A and B are shown apart, each in its own frame.
Chain A
Amino acid sequence: MPEIKELVKQLAEKHGRTRESLLPILQGIITEERYISDAAMTEVARELDMSAALVYGTATFYSFLDTKPRGKYVIRLCRTITCDMKGKKQILKTIEDLLKINVGETTKDNKFTLLETNCLGWCHKGPAMLINDEAYTELTPEKVSEIIGDYIKNK
């Protein structure tokens, strides 16, 4: 895994090699790789001179620090009651039908992962979702089909 080694090294140069650097480094891996593999965690532990268990313990605590393989685009649909009241279930079904996956799954081409998440802070404009860091609000089945369609075609 020479690429991971190089990435972790770069991130450590940028954020430092202390315990406080751990979260920014793990976040940096997510930005590049979308998930933190066992090999990446071991490499971070080696680079920061700490136990791999400690890296694992920290990474698995945070829902945005995925430790399972994820697609290039991670879709996080808000599951809070206010989004639910505005038609979140329909949005979910639309995405599932479109990508032919269920919540928690990744498409075969590794392009999309579909997840549910807790309050995204867009309750007045629900339903809302994140695709990686980008927020999409006031979703309708038509609107979400268009957005995902655009990702399929152009990204």
Chain B
Amino acid sequence: MPDKKLKRVDLIFSEECSCKDVLAEGLKKSKEEIIKEVLDSGLRGRGGAGFPTGLKWKFTSEQAEPEKYVVCNADEGEPGTFKDREILSRVPLKVFGGMAICGKAIGAKHGYLYLRGEYQFLRKDLDKALDQFHATIKEIGFDFHIHILMGAGAYICGEESALFESMEGKRGEPRNKPPYPTIAGFRSKPTVINNVETLVYAFMITRIGAKKFMELGTADSRGSKVFSVSGDTPIAGIYELELGMSLADFVEEFGDGDTKAVQVGGASGFCVPRKKFKETIIGFEGVPTGGSMMLFNSSRSMYNVLKNYVEFFEEESCAQCTPCRVGCQQLRKGIEAVKKGEKSAAYLDTLKKLADTMKITAKCGLGQSVANSFSSIVDNFKEEMIY
């Protein structure tokens, strides 16, 4: 049972500090000090996968290769997620600052921000902020340059190795792993790739210190997180909350009084039905999320929800590996056939086996995670799939 209560936090967007001072202060530290601070804080990646940020930085810093890169993943494409857009439009200097601190820690002179094509309209303001950042960093006397690259409408490019391929001017098809980016990332050089939000937290940790950050959250999920709340809620929007709360608390705060399910983590996440709200912890020890929280009330058909997700995956699959390319198509056709009565209800179990097979055999996170939403929706709302 979760012991944390829902608590609003104001770290990411807080304006109380001057980015220049934090940056100057942070860059005075040695790379060992920076990495230790980030490691000690327990910060884990905020894009969804939750890899310890300090470890990424440490592994990359240990590579002897002189050319290394920092990449900021701003290819926010998970359905239901819009926090990175908000962060980039409100506190871009903190994002760039996080990249520079990381650059110092790993020994990189160049950072790249890969922005999804859907956010082209942010570009003008981002370029202005970037000019300001470059002037600041020059004043401080640290040699680091950030470039912005644009995506072109491909969800899969949020997968780190697909993102590198795209940056290199290729089709955004995920690579085989290993090697991991810390050894061979962009241009096959050691690369730290972090989500927008992760970089801002790393930046804030250099200001408030690991200790203060650790006071928030739980043993497995330190700190706070920015949530994108949408669906059947009277107060849709962006909220920074302490990690480790129960979904019941979350629904009490954001629900419309009639919430029957919450999709935690977007199309690639898990569907939690009402009866499990109390026991479900939002965090890495429970149900993790990159921030997407979609609420559904009792007027919604969960069949429509699932169909929308499966169609999404079918369209966004890079089609490189068979389990994902064919699997997504068959899952969509399968639920349609059950709904129409062309297949019996037992066929849903066959489809679940297919989703499980994709989990083990698909090449990347996209195909592997289709089973998350598929099985959790089918298991919890079986009647709605059939009738």
Contact = CB atoms under 8 A, between A and B. Distances in A.
User: Which of B152, B305, B315 neighbours the largest number of chain A CB atoms within 10 Å of its CB?
Assistant: B152
Given A23-B166, A85-B300, A133 B171 contact: no
A117 B153 contact: yes
B228 A57 contact: no
A84 B307 CA distance: 12
A123 B228 contact: yes
B24 interface: no
Interface string B160-201: 000000111111110000000000000000000000000000
Interface of A: 18-24, 26-27, 57-58, 61-65, 79-82, 84-85, 117-126, 130, 133-135
A62 B118 contact: no
- Quick one: which of B76, B117, B118, B229 has the most chain A CB within 10 A? B118
Main secondary structure of the interface of B (DSSP, over half): mixed
Contacts of A19: 168-170
Interface of B: 76-82, 84-85, 116-121, 149-155, 166-173, 228-232, 236-238, 292, 294, 300, 304-305, 308-309, 312, 315-316, 318
A61 B171 CA distance: 6
Pairs A-B, 4 closest by C-beta atoms: A64-B153, A124-B236, A123-B230, A62-B152
A133 to B, nearest CB: 4
Nearest to A26: B152
A124 B77 contact: no
B154 A133 contact: no
Given A20-B167, A62-B154, A63-B152, A82 B117 contact: no
Contacts of A118: 77, 79, 155, 312, 315-316
Nearest to B293: A123
A82 B153 contact: no
Contact of A82 (B80, B85, B173): B80
Contacts of B294: 81-82, 123
